[in-house]
Structure 1
Amino acid sequence: MVASYIGISSLNSSCFPPRPCFAKRKPFAVSAAMSDDPISDWILSEGNATQITRTSPIGGGCINNARRYDTDAGSFFVKTNRGIGPSMFEGEALGLGAMYETRTIRVPRPFKVGPLPTGGSYIIMEFIEFGASRGNQSVLGRQLAEMHKAGKSEKGFGFDVDNTIGSTPQINTWTSDWIEFYGKHRLGYQLKLALDQYGDSTIYQKGKRLVENMAPLFQNIVIEPCLLHGDLWSGNISSDKNGEPVILDPACYYGHNEAEFGMSWCAGFGGSFYNAYFEVMPKQPGFEKRREIYLLYHYLNHYNLFGSSYRSSAMSIIDDYLLMLGV
């Protein structure tokens, strides 16, 4: 939901540079043994540093604390959360790793996830020095489409672990049918949360009616499980010092590529973004009619996280679809 950091040291001019001191590192691992300072221990062993020269706080997040660790082997970005175990960061690391492996768009590479000795958890990842802008919109659109095209799953729709959208649990149980997955694990989950949290039976009942009748919106199209960032808004989009797009703080899963635009109401995507995107991933029939069904998930999540100011937007989308579908 909210970007948790501002920067990672750009490694060189290429988008996915091999960093010599990281060359023999394994993909991110979860810490098994506990120490008094597991973050420094990892940096000074598997991180190939011999000295930590400085640590400094980085602002920008509302869920986690963030710090930059400067060392003689380069800089690292570390997020900690004193109240949540490693599962949240494991989900983030798996998502970052999956996006990184597509070699399509730059993301911070995850290195280590583990528990803190006093409770909570941490994640260590690559530190990217951000540029002055969010990058070229057309390059972002093309690279995002290339990620969707490259990142496929034979397991169906979902992800290997549940993760979070903001601080809300996001259920990623593998499902063969997209309409079932989106109706149950995205819209249905948020509607039930609104009922349990606010006693909002109106939005729950109307929303369930929409879920049960939304299949016509998906007729005559091909839906493949594409790797999605899952929470792509302006705060999670930046660029490195070379102007190449960087996306971060994901809520990854494999889903319909159009679902990636669910946060477009606060992502700032323009015409050049969509034109470039659809050159790689052609627009399918009925795209305009489906756009708001994907906005609805995020409006419902904002309602559940931040309160009633987002209810009217969610309710308006539901009512419009019920009218359109004649149900």
Structure 2
Amino acid sequence: MTVAAMSNDPIREWILSEGNSTQITRISSVGGGCINLASRYDTDAGSFFVKTNRSIGPSMFEGEALGLGAMYDTRTIRVPRPYKVGSLPTGGSFIIMEFIEFGVSRGDQSVLGTKLAEMHKAGKSEKGFGFDVNNTIGSTPQINRWASDWIQFYGEHRLGYQLKLAREQYGDNSIYEKGQRLVKSMGPLFEDVVVEPCLLHGDLWSGNISSDKNGKPVILDPACYYGHNEAEFGMSWCAGFGGSFYSSYFKVMPKQPGFEKRRDLYMLYHYLNHYNLFGSGYRSSAMSIIDDYLRMLKP
């Protein structure tokens, strides 16, 4: 079927001009997202992947596009190439990107580990820790203000921000106060560690990991920033990383002293975010991590 021309449609206008297409042959819905609507636009010049959101302005998609572009520019792991972000005339926004034909599995864990480590090694920032724009983790704002000190950045803009949200949203003074004690006392976890600002996907769980039709790993829907490479494993509780993933990763990015002691610290950010997004079912996991660290560090 040939889709009829629609007036004042910026998605169609871009595809038929800068997208080098002369005809859109089919538009079909793509499932999987819970925040945005996703569609596949088939044309005589290939296919495009389009996400739209009728209630949010273009800043969210601008952050995604900058993250995808930064990862794409490392020429390491495959990500969808971003093409265009804009506003919809009826309100809301859109992003157009490369359409990748996914394979039947998530691909080889060993290759994923290698490619992710290569991205971390290649993507470095001279500005420190942070990103050029704020973005979102799920639908939660993620503050990426530049900082030269990783412990300060992670304590303030990651754990601290989520703890404040929990207090504001649920009146949860207990998790806030205990969490702030942890933030102030977590320095010893980084003794003898060199922390470099590496480009992170930022939200690496199983739903954001796939493979292309050739079996090569693909990562998508990022919440990018420059941070400690170990923070990339913060969603490992629902990412399914196996032994071959980690062994391949550490061949490229060697494991640093105290890695195991810091793993839960990076999971805590995502448990807190899930608590703020989805409710009390995630509170006990977050509080358990905080309590364990407070016993270990004895602040």
Once residues 257 and 301 of structure 1 are traced to their aligned partners in structure 2, the CA distance between those partners, rounded to angstroms, is 19
2:86 maps to a residue whose letter is G
Q: After superposition, what is the alpha-carbon deviation per residue over 1:64-112, rounded to whole angstroms, capped at 9, x for unaligned?
A: 0000000000000000000100000000000000000000000000000
Q: After superposition, what is the alpha-carbon deviation per residue over 1:271-316, rounded to whole angstroms, capped at 9, x for unaligned?
A: 0000000000000000000000000000000000000000000000
Residue ranges of structure 1 left out of the alignment (5+ in a row)? 1-34
In structure 2, which of residues 277, 280, 283 is the aligned counterpart of residue 308 of structure 1?
280
What's 2:294 paired with? 322
What's 1:296 paired with? 268
What's 2:4 paired with? none
In structure 1, which of residues 88, 92, 98 is the aligned counterpart of residue 64 of structure 2?
92
1:191 maps to a residue whose letter is L
What's 1:247 paired with? 219
2:144 maps to a residue whose letter is N
What's 1:111 paired with? 83
Once residues 113 and 17 of structure 2 are traced to their aligned partners in structure 1, the CA distance between those partners, rounded to angstroms, is 38
What's 2:169 paired with? 197
Once residues 311 and 142 of structure 1 are traced to their aligned partners in structure 2, the CA distance between those partners, rounded to angstroms, is 33
Residues 1:125 and 2:84 are matched in the alignment: no
What's 1:39 paired with? 11
For the residue of structure 2 that corresponds to 1:56, the secondary structure is strand
1:46 maps to a residue whose letter is E
Query: In the TM superposition, what is the alpha-carbon distance from 1:36 to its structure 2 partner?
Result: 1.5
Query: In the TM superposition, what is the alpha-carbon distance from 1:46 to its structure 2 partner?
Result: 0.2
Residues 1:76 and 2:76 are matched in the alignment: no
What's 2:135 paired with? 163
Once residues 255 and 132 of structure 1 are traced to their aligned partners in structure 2, the CA distance between those partners, rounded to angstroms, is 32
2:258 maps to a residue whose letter is G
What's 1:32 paired with? none
When the two structures are superposed, what TM-score results if normalisation uses the length of structure 2?
Answer: 0.98
In structure 1, which of residues 47, 52, 57 is the aligned counterpart of residue 24 of structure 2?
52
In structure 2, which of residues 167, 175, 189 is the aligned counterpart of residue 217 of structure 1?
189
For the residue of structure 1 that corresponds to 2:41, the secondary structure is strand
For the residue of structure 1 that corresponds to 2:285, the secondary structure is helix
Residue ranges of structure 2 left out of the alignment (5+ in a row)? 1-6
In structure 2, which of residues 258, 267, 270 is the aligned counterpart of residue 286 of structure 1?
258
When the two structures are superposed, what TM-score results if normalisation uses the length of structure 1?
Answer: 0.89
Give the 4+ runs in structure 1 shifted more than 2 A: none
Once residues 229 and 110 of structure 1 are traced to their aligned partners in structure 2, the CA distance between those partners, rounded to angstroms, is 15
In structure 1, which of residues 203, 221, 234 is the aligned counterpart of residue 206 of structure 2?
234
Once residues 303 and 36 of structure 1 are traced to their aligned partners in structure 2, the CA distance between those partners, rounded to angstroms, is 40
What's 2:111 paired with? 139
Identity %: 84
In structure 2, which of residues 246, 260, 264 is the aligned counterpart of residue 274 of structure 1?
246
What's 1:65 paired with? 37
2:223 maps to a residue whose letter is A
In structure 2, which of residues 84, 107, 121 is the aligned counterpart of residue 149 of structure 1?
121
What's 1:30 paired with? none
2:143 maps to a residue whose letter is I
1:312 maps to a residue whose letter is S
Once residues 226 and 121 of structure 2 are traced to their aligned partners in structure 1, the CA distance between those partners, rounded to angstroms, is 11
